[in-house]
């Protein structure tokens, strides 16, 4: 695909901007709260603030970020990233604190930040990434399932991870050949079901419509079967066989700058994966990886690489999406190959029908 793949992979340090509080207001638990007002006044004051931070010292920045947090926070994304942003010397920085499912019980926490990107400057300036633990004076304590206390010095913060353990697809949403791998809460505030078709060996992100959608969908001009999110830019196809919407595309500009709207490939259901189900699905899709020692989360043995589940394309205009409907309605497509129409093809630029076996670099997410 002729896209900036490096831009897509930056997730361990990627944090994007876009209102963090939007995640809070989009959640069912926060739905009774009044909407918050954001003003240009506060923005102008932030970008003109000349106070200095120890931007080159990751440990000192961790102490500052942790110190700015309340005593308890909610981590909505299901790969357990707590995203933040701030302004420093006129530049916007993005960052995250991550309680990785594979290492948090070992007392480790991931911390990253960098100058936020935009389409006219696709570069990670001042990138800082560290893994902190006991040797650094940082304590990570499991208080309860999906509740962790992170401490540094006199500051203690409880991180409540998003408990979606009871979330399942409704009856009739999955096909006979499909396996549900787990629920996803994307950093955009949108929920998905991660599904694997065991016969065709392809993945889908199915929109979770058991909760109110934190977006407004509108139909494309050519067909009402393709719907686009007004806020997120996510594109979905209204399945003709089952009552569900399959994600088919993310807006390309969002992918390039790694903001909250590049799609759910980086928010897998880590806390809810059963045994080796995810690993087995990945190896079924890409059997050439069987000898690489992949763990159950899809990581290589050294933890630096994680398999990327990215069946959707990147689009710029509505016309880029019509090929999905053309495929789905074509009489030339065999009946049992129908669901390949909603998976991107690496041989055809942003085209449907074949899976996309990209790898995503864990250290640059």
Tell me what the mean pLDDT of segment 222-250 comes to. 98
> Token digits for 172?
């009739």
Angle at 109 between CA 134 and CA 298, to 5 degrees: 125
pLDDT tens digits, residue range 245-293? Answer: 999 999 999 999 999 999 999 999 999 999 999 999 999 999 988 878 8
The answer on pLDDT for 178 being more than 50 is yes
Angle at 9 between CA 258 and CA 344, to 5 degrees: 95
User: Model confidence at 10, in pLDDT bands (50, 70, 90)?
Assistant: very low
Do 191 and 211 contact (CB within 8 A), yes or no? yes
Do 124 and 91 contact (CB within 8 A), yes or no? no
Tell me what the mean pLDDT of segment 134-149 comes to. 98
User: Model confidence at 352, in pLDDT bands (50, 70, 90)?
Assistant: low
* Residue of 171, 138, 136, 168 whose CA lies nearest to 154: 138
Residue 356 CB: number of other CB atoms within 10 A? 19
DSSP secondary structure letters along 40-66: HHHHHHHHT------TT-HHHHHHHHH
* Residue of 182, 151, 188 whose CA lies nearest to 167: 182
Instruction: Please tell me the distance from the alpha carbon of residue 264 to that of residue 211, in angstroms, as a whole number.
Output: 17
pLDDT tens digits, residue range 201-219? Answer: 999 999 999 999 999 999 9
pLDDT (0 to 100) of residue 293: 87
Strands 313-315 and 138-144: unpaired
Looking at every residue in the chain, the average pLDDT score rounds to 87
* Complete edge-to-edge strand list for the sheet that includes strand 109-115: 81-88, 91-98, 109-115, 128-132
pLDDT (0 to 100) of residue 184: 98
The answer on pLDDT for 42 being more than 60 is yes
User: Model confidence at 11, in pLDDT bands (50, 70, 90)?
Assistant: very low
pLDDT tens digits, residue range 103-119? Answer: 999 999 999 999 998 88
pLDDT (0 to 100) of residue 124: 74
Phi and psi at residue 264, to the nearest 5°: -85, 10
The answer on pLDDT for 365 being more than 50 is no
The answer on pLDDT for 51 being more than 50 is yes
Share of the chain above pLDDT 90, in %: 78
Those residues with Cβ within 8 angstroms of residue 315's Cβ, 6 or more apart along the chain or in another chain: 235, 249, 250, 251, 252, 321, 350
The answer on pLDDT for 169 being more than 90 is yes
- Cα 192 to chain centroid distance, Å, stands at 11
User: Model confidence at 345, in pLDDT bands (50, 70, 90)?
Assistant: confident
pLDDT (0 to 100) of residue 125: 78
pLDDT (0 to 100) of residue 181: 98
pLDDT (0 to 100) of residue 305: 85
The answer on pLDDT for 47 being more than 50 is yes
User: Model confidence at 300, in pLDDT bands (50, 70, 90)?
Assistant: confident
Q: Which residue did the predictor score with more confidence, 102 or 350?
A: 102
The answer on pLDDT for 22 being more than 60 is no
């Amino acid at each position: 695909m002729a896209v900036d793949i490096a831009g897509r992979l930056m997730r361990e340090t990627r944090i994007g901007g876009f209102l963090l509080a939007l995640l809070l207001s989009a959640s069912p638990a926060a739905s009774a709260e009044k909407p918050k007002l954001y003003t240009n006044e506060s923005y102008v004051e932030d970008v003109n603030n000349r106070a200095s931070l120890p931007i080159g010292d990751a440990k000192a920045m961790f102490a500052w970020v942790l110190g700015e947090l309340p005593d308890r926070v909610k981590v909505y994304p299901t790969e357990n990233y707590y995203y933040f942003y701030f302004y420093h010397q006129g530049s916007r920085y993005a960052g995250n604190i991550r309680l990785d499912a594979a290492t948090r019980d070992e007392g480790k926490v991931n911390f990253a930040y960098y100058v936020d990107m935009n389409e006219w400057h696709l570069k990670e300036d001042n990138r800082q990434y560290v893994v902190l633990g006991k040797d650094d004076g940082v304590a990570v304590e499991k208080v309860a399932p999906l509740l962790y206390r992170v401490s540094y010095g006199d500051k203690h913060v409880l991180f409540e991870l998003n408990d979606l353990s009871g979330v399942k697809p409704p009856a009739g949403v999955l096909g006979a050949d499909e396996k549900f791998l787990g629920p996803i809460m994307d950093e955009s505030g949108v929920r998905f079901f991660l599904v694997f078709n065991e016969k065709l060996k392809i993945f889908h992100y199915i929109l979770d419509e058991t909760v109110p959608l934190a977006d407004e969908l509108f139909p494309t001009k050519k067909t009402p079967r393709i719907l686009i999110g007004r806020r997120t830019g996510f594109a979905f196809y209204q399945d003709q066989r089952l009552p569900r919407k399959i994600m088919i595309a993310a807006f390309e500009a969002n992918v390039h700058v790694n903001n909250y709207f590049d799609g759910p490939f980086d928010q897998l259901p880590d806390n809810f994966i059963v045994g080796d189900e995810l690993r087995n699905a990945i190896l079924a899709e890409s059997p050439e990886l069987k000898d690489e020692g992949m763990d159950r989360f899809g990581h290589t043995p050294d933890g630096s690489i994680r398999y990327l589940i990215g069946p959707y394309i990147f689009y710029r205009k509505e016309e880029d999406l019509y090929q999905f409907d053309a495929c789905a309605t074509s009489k030339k497509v065999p009946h049992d190959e129908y669901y390949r129409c909603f998976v991107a093809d690496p041989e055809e630029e942003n085209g449907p029908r074949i899976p996309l076996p990209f790898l995503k670099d864990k250290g640059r997410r």
